[in-house]
Structure 1
Amino acid sequence: MHPGRILKRELAARDLSANRLALGLRVPSGRITDILNGKRGITPETALRLARAFGTSADFWMNLQTRYDLAIAKESIGAKVVMEVERVDAATQTRKRHKAA
């Protein structure tokens, strides 16, 4: 779920417009609109501002963004990564040591 959906819920719960939030955060209203529409992610700076405005932590907002980004990456390239990347384990390390010797 894009963090903008969570932000949308927060605004609705407080009967707050995107423009009013942007004014309070001291950011361009387009930034908030883009986040709400899923066209833009939450940056660390925006997370700090949202945390201050809503009495949450910046980590909360950044974690929402990170989880979303990871879900998108898993969906788009997850299978490719599984096929391409070799797992590093004890057996791999042992083979490499023997080849080097």
Structure 2
Amino acid sequence: MSFTNTGQMTRRPTHPGEMLREDFMPEYGLSISALARAIGVSRQSINDLVRERRAVSPSIALRLARLFGNSPEFWLNAQRTVDLWEVARSVEKEINRIQPLDVA
């Protein structure tokens, strides 16, 4: 038997930049500059990402996946979860006014 998850997360999901800052970079001994060099992007791009001022793009997701040996979907799904949570919070009243349709 399976159950549908109908509860809404009340805390903000973990931003991929936080994952980089707290988990990946310390584990691999990477600084912002070293990570930027390793994946071929600017230091500013990585700095903005780890400070959660920038979203993970498909290009960055591919680069991070190659470097850390995981998948681009890992990074993009983490970003998508944060994006959906933030938008859901900002338009909650508007969404709640929409009446679901019944099948004819």
Residue aligning to 2:100: 87
- Give the alignment's Cα RMSD to 1 decimal: 1.0
User: When you count helix as a share of all residues, which structure comes out higher?
Assistant: 1
Q: Unaligned regions of 5+ residues in structure 2, if any?
A: 1-13
* Overall identity of the aligned pairs, in %: 33
1:20-42 deviation per Cα after TM superposition (whole angstroms, max 9, x unaligned): 01001001111100000010000
Once superposed, which parts of structure 1, at least 4 consecutive aligned residues long, lie more than 2 Å away? none
Amino acid at match of 2:93: A
Q: 1:68 aligns with which of 46, 65, 82?
A: 82
Amino acid at match of 1:16: L
In 1, Cα distance between equivalents of 2:89 and 2:60? 26
Q: Which has the higher contact order (CA 8 A, sep 6+)?
A: 2
- Give the superposition deviation at 1:14: 1.3
5 Å matches for 1:3-22? 3-8=16-21, 9-22=23-36
TM-score, normalisation: structure 2: 0.81
Q: 2:38 aligns with which of 8, 12, 24?
A: 24
Aligned length: 90
TM-score, normalisation: structure 1: 0.84
1:59-81 deviation per Cα after TM superposition (whole angstroms, max 9, x unaligned): 00000000000111111112321
Residue aligning to 1:54: 68
In 2, Cα distance between equivalents of 1:3 and 1:75? 19
Instruction: Point out the structure with max Rg over C-alpha.
Output: 1
Q: Unaligned regions of 5+ residues in structure 1, if any?
A: 95-101
